């Protein structure tokens, strides 16, 4: 078991990473001292992991609310069903939500916790690689809108994150690969040595080797924890964590959240950002090929043929990094170092979109 911390003053909290920790009563009692609980999960995760969590919670009162499984259900109707469950369970401000599942469960459970009675506690218990390395950490919560991903939400930090690596063994291969896109992102934005480690260790990650997964999760969380501690509400450096996401979120929305998993859309977005950086003269063609090769080895898509570039650009205009009406992109002056830029020719962006979407 390993632990690191998000340093946010009075809102600081631990991230615990280990094997077979989901049913650890002493650990759960330390992370979650509350007695009245609502476990928010989905149908698939409930069948696989809920019994272990209930054992870990011991004799505490824990109502359970299950959500439908899928990004297309990350909406108002699903959020309202959580509010109904909180009211039915008669949770008060001294209660807490336990979000057991992937990114959709964590985002909706966290947003419900941010809103219910103007804010209650919640514990993130991510069960996908993508959630363990990214969405469960940092306090971003929210739901999607038809016009764009995560347009409605709040910053609301959890009281802790409990990442049980054992849960990853139940993931379909496609879900594991989608999580690797976010792991690769961390190497690209800040740590070239980590990127090189991913290149060497990819087969171990794809075959669920615990030591490799634990290192990938810990290093990803270390990078995110450091950035979030300096910029909790994304006024500056935290935007770097969105490398590939401006492209990726628009691709998800254009597919109505049914075509691509989030990590798959991010993978396409990562390569688009790398290609855009090369168009600006920051990277060379061998850098683009290197990233493309790594994504392909991970079994991730590198293009989204058939999407309309104009429609994707329209969706990108709703990105949260828009400033004074200008689209800003997270790009790479070099591999292992990212920056936010709006100093690019719109024609370069159009060419990038057409290369990866229409051709």
Distance, CA of 107 to chain centre: 9
d(CA 147, CA 145): 5
- Which residue among 34, 218, 249, 279 is the active-site one? 249
Q: Where in the chain is the domain with CATH 3.40.50.1970?
A: 2-170
In the chain, which ranges are E strands?
2-6, 13-18, 36-42, 61-67, 96-101, 121-126, 140-145, 148-155, 160-164, 329-334, 337-341
Give the residue among 162, 145, 147 at the shortest CA–CA distance from 75: 145
- Catalytic annotation present for 144: no
- Catalytic annotation present for 249: yes
- Which residue among 49, 224, 279, 328 is the active-site one? 224
Give residue 41's pLDDT: 98
- Catalytic annotation present for 49: no
Structure tokens at 238: 């935290």
- Which residue among 262, 279, 292, 328 is the active-site one? 262
Q: How many residues in the chain?
A: 359
- Which residue among 149, 242, 252, 279 is the active-site one? 242
3 state DSSP class of 286: helix
- Which residue among 71, 190, 234, 252 is the active-site one? 234
- Catalytic annotation present for 242: yes
- Which residue among 238, 279, 292, 328 is the active-site one? 238
- Catalytic annotation present for 234: yes
Structure tokens at 11: 């809102």
Q: Which residues of 268-298 are buried (b: 16+ CB within 10 A; e: fewer)?
A: bbbbbbbbbbbbbebbeeebbebbbebbeeb
Q: Where in the chain is the domain with CATH 1.20.1090.10?
A: 173-358
Please state, as a whole number, how many other Cβ atoms lie within 10 Å of the Cβ of residue 23.
Answer: 17
Q: Are 161 and 124 in contact (CB under 8 A)?
A: yes
CA distance to 18, 36, 99, 110, 201, per residue, from 211 (Å)? 10, 35, 25, 29, 11
Give the residue among 185, 186, 192 at the shortest CA–CA distance from 222: 186
Specify the CATH number of the domain 173-358: 1.20.1090.10
Query: pLDDT digits over 211-261, tens only?
Result: 999 999 999 999 999 999 999 988 889 999 999 999 999 999 999 999 999
pLDDT tens over the chain, length 359 residues: 999 999 999 999 999 999 999 999 999 999 999 999 999 999 999 999 999 999 999 999 899 999 999 999 999 999 999 999 999 999 999 999 999 999 999 999 999 999 999 999 999 999 999 999 999 999 999 999 988 889 999 999 999 999 999 999 999 999 999 999 999 999 999 999 999 999 999 999 999 999 999 999 999 999 999 999 999 988 889 999 999 999 999 999 999 999 999 999 999 999 999 999 999 999 999 999 999 999 999 999 999 999 999 999 999 998 877 777 789 999 999 999 999 998 899 999 999 999 999 76
- Which residue among 52, 182, 232, 252 is the active-site one? 182
- Catalytic annotation present for 224: yes
CATH architecture of 2-170: 3-Layer(aba) Sandwich (3.40)
Give residue 319's pLDDT: 82
- Catalytic annotation present for 262: yes
d(CA 6, CA 138): 8
d(CA 251, CA 258): 11
Q: Are 320 and 307 in contact (CB under 8 A)?
A: no
- Catalytic annotation present for 118: yes
- Which residue among 34, 49, 215, 245 is the active-site one? 245
Give the residue among 250, 256, 265, 68 at the shortest CA–CA distance from 146: 256
- Which residue among 34, 74, 140, 177 is the active-site one? 140
- Catalytic annotation present for 311: no
Query: pLDDT digits over 132-154, tens only?
Result: 999 999 999 999 998 888 999 99
């Amino acid at each position: 078991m390993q632990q690191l911390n998000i340093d946010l003053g009075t809102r600081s909290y631990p991230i615990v990473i280990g094997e077979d920790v989901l049913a650890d009563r002493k650990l759960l009692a330390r992370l979650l001292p509350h007695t009245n609980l609502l476990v928010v999960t989905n149908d698939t995760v409930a069948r696989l992991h809920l019994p272990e969590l209930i054992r870990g919670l011991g004799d505490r009162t824990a109502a359970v609310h299950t959500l439908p499984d899928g990004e297309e259900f990350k909406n108002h109707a699903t959020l309202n069903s959580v509010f109904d469950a909180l009211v039915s369970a008669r949770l008060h401000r001294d209660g807490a939500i336990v979000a057991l599942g992937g990114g959709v469960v964590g985002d909706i459970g966290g947003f419900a916790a941010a809103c219910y009675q103007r804010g209650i506690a919640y514990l993130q218990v991510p069960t996908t690689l993508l959630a363990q390395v990214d969405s469960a950490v940092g306090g971003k919560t929210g739901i999607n809108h038809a016009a764009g991903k995560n347009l409605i939400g709040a910053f609301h930090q959890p009281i802790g994150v409990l990442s049980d690596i054992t849960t990853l063994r139940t993931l379909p291969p496609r879900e594991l690969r989608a999580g690797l896109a976010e792991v690769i992102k961390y190497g690209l934005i800040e740590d070239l040595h980590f990127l090189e480690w991913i290149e060497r260790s990819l087969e171990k990650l794809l075959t669920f080797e615990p030591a490799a997964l634990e290192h990938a999760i810990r290093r990803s969380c270390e990078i995110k924890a450091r950035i979030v501690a300096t910029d909790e509400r994304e006024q500056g450096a935290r935007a770097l964590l969105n490398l590939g996401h401006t492209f990726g979120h628009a691709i998800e929305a254009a597919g109505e959240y049914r075509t691509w998993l989030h990590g798959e859309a991010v993978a396409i977005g990562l390569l688009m950002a790398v290609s855009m950086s090369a168009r600006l003269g920051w990277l060379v063609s061998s850098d683009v090929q290197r990233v493309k090769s790594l994504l392909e080895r991970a079994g991730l898509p590198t293009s989204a043929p058939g999407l309309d570039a104009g429609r994707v650009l329209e969706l990108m205009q709703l990105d949260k990094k828009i400033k004074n009406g200008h689209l800003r992109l997270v790009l790479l002056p070099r591999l292992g170092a990212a920056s936010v830029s709006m100093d690019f020719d719109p024609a370069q962006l159009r060419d990038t979109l057409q290369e990866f979407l229409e051709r």
